[in-house]
Amino acid sequence: MIKNVFQFISNELEQYLRQTLSLNENHVVCNPVINTDGSIPMQNQNKVVLSLLNIQQEASRSMMNISRNTHSADIVSNQPEQYSINVLVTSSFEDYLEALNFLDKAMRFFQKHALISPESNPNLPEGLLKLSFEFEATNYAEMESIWTILGTKHQPCIIYKLRITTS
């Protein structure tokens, strides 16, 4: 599911950037901002990079009620599952102003597509009922902590909370 969601977002953002900036080549990748050996991935150069920061399963009320009312582990709920993923959108360009331009366009994409459903986008992968994007306000200390954990220098970026509802 996560792979399909990231591929979908990447493709949709890529199409948006191609249309708004009249581009012919790809400028979006799903990748970590840094390799495990500490080097910067070559495929990130002059790209908008989508990276997974965190994932959580959101507990629904019906699941909490089921767990309180039974001791059986065999219950299967047909309720939709909900997940919350923090997505780091990094604009990794050598030219700083170009990085800011691409970050601005990525922000506009997520604002315009704050809610995606099969009705609004028939390309939504099967099994997904809804994707919603919410700007994740991050203060300086939190941002410093994120980049320190990642083990690299700060780049122009934004974090979105992606809520996924699956069938």
- Measured N-to-C along each axis, helices 96-112 and 2-21 cross at an angle, to the nearest 10 degrees, of 110
C-alpha closest to that of 26 among 39, 35, 38, 13 = 13
Task: Kindly report whether the global pTM for this prediction surpasses the value 0.75.
Answer: yes
C-alpha closest to that of 160 among 29, 71, 52 = 52
The mean per-residue pLDDT over the stretch 153-163 comes to 94
Worst-scoring range by mean pLDDT, 71-80, 114-123, 142-151? Answer: 71-80
The tens digit of pLDDT for each residue in 45-93 reads 999 999 999 999 887 654 444 545 555 555 555 678 999 999 999 999 9
- pLDDT given at position 152: 86
Mean pLDDT for all residues in the chain: 89
Domain 2-61+78-166: assigned CATH number: 3.30.2000
End-to-end Cα spacing for the chain: 11
- pLDDT given at position 151: 86
Burial class, 166, CB count within 10 angstroms (exposed 0-12 / middle 13-18 / buried 19+): middle
What ranges do the domains of the chain cover? 2-61+78-166
Give me the residue label for tokens 């704050």. Answer: 114
